[in-house]
Structure 1
Amino acid sequence: MRAEFIETVTGETDAGAVAALPVPDHYRAAVLLEDEQTMFEGVSMPDRKPADAVHIQEVPTPEPGPGEALIAVMASAVNYNTVWSAMFAPVPTFAFLRRYAKTGGLAARHYQPYHVIGSDLAGVVLRTGPGVRRWKAGDRVVAHCLSVELEHPDGHDDSMLDPEQRIWGFETNYGGLAELALVKANQLMPKAEHLTWEEAASPGLVNSTAYRQLVSHHGAAMKQGDNILIWGAAGGLGSFAVQYALGGGANPICVVSNARKAEVCRRMGAEAVIDRDAEDYRFWTDEHTQNPREWRRFGERIRELTGGEDVDIVFEHPGRETFGASVYVARRGGTVVTCASTSGFLHQFDNRYLWMNVKRILGSHFANYREAWQANRLIQQGRIHPTLSTTYRLEDTGQAIDDLHHNRHQGKVGVLCLAPAENGGVTDPEMRERHLPAIERFRS
């Protein structure tokens, strides 16, 4: 895009200057191509190379319809749904786009031979469609990834129950890994003034997900004193769960995969940390057989760290690899709350430990607008901090996704889109200075 366009949307200009900018008819984006969706057929999941499926190319700019906004994207981030998208697994995302398009109206334009991916952004409102009153051109915003229609009554108690609920940039088109993005206006939230563009873009999906999963009454409803087992505690999702546990007076037991990640958890303030590789936990003896002896050894280690207590809540997201152990180690009457399955979707566990000990398994998927707003408010207040470790350019999105796929990352991996360099977008340097050690503790 032209330098003057970038300078206007990133600078300290008024709304009129942004509103007067001509909207480009095309923009650069990280896309998947429909005619490549079978490229990994016959290749095992660990051996797939998601970077091979990601292309940076120009796509036509969509016009914001009623209740929508077009955003100039300064920065974005990658999540595990970005990895799944680029591996065309468990199904190619074009199936989602096709299904959405069949609902008609403005949804029809989401089915294209390309899919602009990405479920995080920080940027500037460029245009709004009819009926949008809360937001205007020039507003600095972040976006959460819940897309809902709310035409069905089920969505009006908790919008996550809307039958037409989708994840933007995964089950819809025009996502955040791009120079422009199309969102519904009720996805927008204020950008934290003390954060850079890339820092502000990184919490969206994982912060809101962890908030609902642990804090909300729709999730585990964590309380003071709870012992909480957090898998992948130095990763994008787990790093926010640790912060919510500590901030809410609970006791996180952090499970990580190496000493470097263990140290990051200690820098966040966690005292109980399990390095699963160093302690060599093997929950499966082979591809088909779990090892209950390892569950028991793991439970004994947890009790060593908690003074003899089992965990009240298990913060689950690895899925198949860990789920049997999670059900086993939860206390009598405890809760396993799960939001993902990064190691596999088909879970196995010994049901005796669930039913005879009155435990429960609770599904949790992203967050509704209220929960996402509350989670973002804590970011704005400096009570919860981004966990950004590395930032790539848009043209290197494939490498960023590959880092997640191979677990080479810690915290979140960011992507600069229109932002010309890192460290831009801060409008409250005094607040930033007060929180800088916490903001930067995940930096490589």
Structure 2
Amino acid sequence: MQKILDAILADELDAVASLPVPDSYRAVTVHADEAEMFQGLPTKEKDPRKSLHVEQVATPELGPGEALVAVMASAINYNTVWTSIFEPVSTFSFLKRYGKTSPLTAKHDLPYHVVGSDLAGVVLRTGPGVNAWKPGDEVVAHCLSVELEHPDGHNDTMLDPEQRIWGFETNFGGLAELALVKANQLMPKPGHLTWEEAASPGLVNSTAYRQLVSRNGAAMKQGDVVLIWGASGGLGSYATQFALNGGATPVCVVSSQEKAELCRKMGAELIIDRSAEGYRFWQDEHNQDPKEWKRFGAKIRELTGGEDPDIVFEHPGRETFGASVYVAKRGGTIVTCASTSGFLHQYDNRYLWMNLKRIVGSHFANYREAWEANRLVAKGKIHPTVSKVYSMDDTGQAAYDVHRNAHQGKVGVLTLAPEEGLGVRDPEFRAAQLDQINRFRGE
């Protein structure tokens, strides 16, 4: 592994094809025999630092259509947090089902799960049938793993019944020194970014693109008012950038003045600090408070000059969904991709059906959407939102911080890269983007 790293650091990328692939590598894992370790504890008390392990694992066999990547950096997403606390179910159920799909996928069904759904690195090997990529290519990976043997996937690959999220519903993820991906997950690494910056947008950038911009999501247009929950977070920070770039007006909902300032740095002007305003959408565990929905809607109208949101960008879920349905404009769209505060949503359906609103489910992105989202990063139209970078040995702490919402933007993890700041191929273009690239640093 050291020889592979030395070749990458020396910019001798053509040499990696001739270097032997190690039999094992260091990876961040969870263990099947620990899946019950947090049983009985409230979600907030479940600690990823206790369940995430950094250990040596065997290198998987490379199959047709696959690529083995030397991972220089990765990042933390909420799906890694969910995996680490075994909610809503243990991911080993996903791996067991996937392992039964074919002889090729049987290797995913292991007593450990290598986690992580982002990477930036260098292709080491490609399997039979791979022609678009070769050893030495600098790449990032999106996290859609799809078999494409069913007709439903050939209009939109996200509709394929064998669609999975790599590193969450498959094994051999990106929080490791090596990762196994399908070749159609690969995209060119933006040349002006460091390894850790390039690794961070993948999952959230592509998710926000489909959810907000794509016709498969909300199909945002110029002039739309877009309410964005968690607008300075890993997902919301990209939604805010897409809204601004697309001629829409973001209304950014945050939970502190520090997060409000980050939204202002991105160019947003309409901001609601929900903590300062004291919104309590639930009276108790079972009952919401419609008066708070109305107060929240009035605040939005105050900021927008009387307009309701054309689009509500939803991902908190249970805590906010009733308010989201209420405040969307007549004929508006609530588009949801997650439920970080709870999966069982409640809302007053009168405000949906009588006002002709729509709820749209959105999940990650297809290859084309992910490619377009990555292309915007490469062009400097969308920027990474890395606030902090951890070593691989500290991945448990990184996941713990995300679990507690003690982070801003995205949290990066160095895997093979020995330090931050490496991997830049276009320093001149980078210099012109540096202020935007570093907006979230130190936050």
Match of 2:408 in 1: 410
Deviates more, 1:188-197 or 1:60-69: 60-69
User: How many angstroms does 1:181 deviate by?
Assistant: 0.2
Could you tell me which amino acid in structure 2 is paired with residue 177 of structure 1? L
Match of 1:299 in 2: 297
Alignment of 1:215-234 (within 5 A): 215-234=213-232
Q: Report if aligned partners of 2:227, 2:311 keep a CA contact under 8 Å in 1.
A: yes
User: Among the aligned pairs, what percent are the same residue?
Assistant: 71
**1:169-219 superposed Cα distances (whole Å, 9 cap, x missing partner):** 000000000000000000000000000000000000000000000110101
User: How many angstroms does 1:5 deviate by?
Assistant: 2.5
Q: Determine the C-alpha separation between the residues in 2 that align with 1:22 and 1:304.
A: 63
Aligned-pair Cα RMSD in Å: 0.6
Match of 2:40 in 1: 42
- Give 2:315's match in structure 1, choosing from 307, 314, 317: 317
Match of 2:5 in 1: 6
Match of 1:358 in 2: 356
Match of 2:91 in 1: 93
Q: Determine the C-alpha separation between the residues in 2 that align with 1:155 and 1:10.
A: 39
Q: Report if aligned partners of 1:150, 1:159 keep a CA contact under 8 Å in 2.
A: yes
Alignment of 1:268-287 (within 5 A): 268-287=266-285
The 3-state SS of whatever aligns with 2:104 is helix
The 3-state SS of whatever aligns with 2:330 is strand
Q: Determine the C-alpha separation between the residues in 1 that align with 2:100 and 2:13.
A: 40
1:201 aligns with 2:195: no
Q: Which structure 1 segments of 5+ residues have no match?
A: none
- Give 2:171's match in structure 1, choosing from 159, 170, 173: 173
Q: Determine the C-alpha separation between the residues in 1 that align with 2:48 and 2:72.
A: 24
Q: Determine the C-alpha separation between the residues in 1 that align with 2:185 and 2:105.
A: 16
Match of 2:118 in 1: 120
- Cα gap change, 1:6 to 1:14, in 2 (>3 Å): closer
Q: Determine the C-alpha separation between the residues in 1 that align with 2:285 and 2:395.
A: 32
Match of 1:30 in 2: 28
Q: Determine the C-alpha separation between the residues in 2 that align with 1:344 and 1:207.
A: 22
Q: Determine the C-alpha separation between the residues in 1 that align with 2:368 and 2:305.
A: 37
User: How many angstroms does 1:361 deviate by?
Assistant: 0.3
Q: Report if aligned partners of 1:63, 1:70 keep a CA contact under 8 Å in 2.
A: no
Could you tell me which amino acid in structure 2 is paired with residue 12 of structure 1? D
Alignment of 1:143-154 (within 5 A): 143-154=141-152
The 3-state SS of whatever aligns with 1:413 is strand
Could you tell me which amino acid in structure 2 is paired with residue 213 of structure 1? Q
Question: Please, what TM-score do these two structures have when normalized by structure 1?
Answer: 0.99
User: How many angstroms does 1:133 deviate by?
Assistant: 0.4
Could you tell me which amino acid in structure 2 is paired with residue 76 of structure 1? S
**1:46-93 superposed Cα distances (whole Å, 9 cap, x missing partner):** 111121100000000012110000000000001000000000000000
The 3-state SS of whatever aligns with 1:372 is helix
Q: Report if aligned partners of 1:77, 1:414 keep a CA contact under 8 Å in 2.
A: yes
Q: Determine the C-alpha separation between the residues in 2 that align with 1:437 and 1:14.
A: 30
Equivalent residue pairs, number: 442
Q: Report if aligned partners of 2:13, 2:137 keep a CA contact under 8 Å in 1.
A: no
**1:394-433 superposed Cα distances (whole Å, 9 cap, x missing partner):** 0100000001100000000000000010000001000000
Q: Determine the C-alpha separation between the residues in 2 that align with 1:314 and 1:10.
A: 44
Q: Report if aligned partners of 2:7, 2:13 keep a CA contact under 8 Å in 1.
A: no
**1:108-129 superposed Cα distances (whole Å, 9 cap, x missing partner):** 0000010000000000000000
Q: Report if aligned partners of 1:9, 1:72 keep a CA contact under 8 Å in 2.
A: no
Q: Determine the C-alpha separation between the residues in 1 that align with 2:371 and 2:107.
A: 28
The runs of at least 4 consecutive aligned structure 1 residues that moved more than 4 Å come to none
The 3-state SS of whatever aligns with 2:331 is strand
1:135 aligns with 2:133: yes
Q: Determine the C-alpha separation between the residues in 2 that align with 1:266 and 1:425.
A: 29
Q: Determine the C-alpha separation between the residues in 1 that align with 2:365 and 2:102.
A: 25
Q: Which structure 2 segments of 5+ residues have no match?
A: none
User: How many angstroms does 1:11 deviate by?
Assistant: 2.9
User: How many angstroms does 1:95 deviate by?
Assistant: 0.2
User: How many angstroms does 1:441 deviate by?
Assistant: 0.2
Could you tell me which amino acid in structure 2 is paired with residue 61 of structure 1? T
**1:156-181 superposed Cα distances (whole Å, 9 cap, x missing partner):** 00000000000000000000000000
Could you tell me which amino acid in structure 2 is paired with residue 309 of structure 1? E
The 3-state SS of whatever aligns with 2:377 is helix
Match of 1:386 in 2: 384
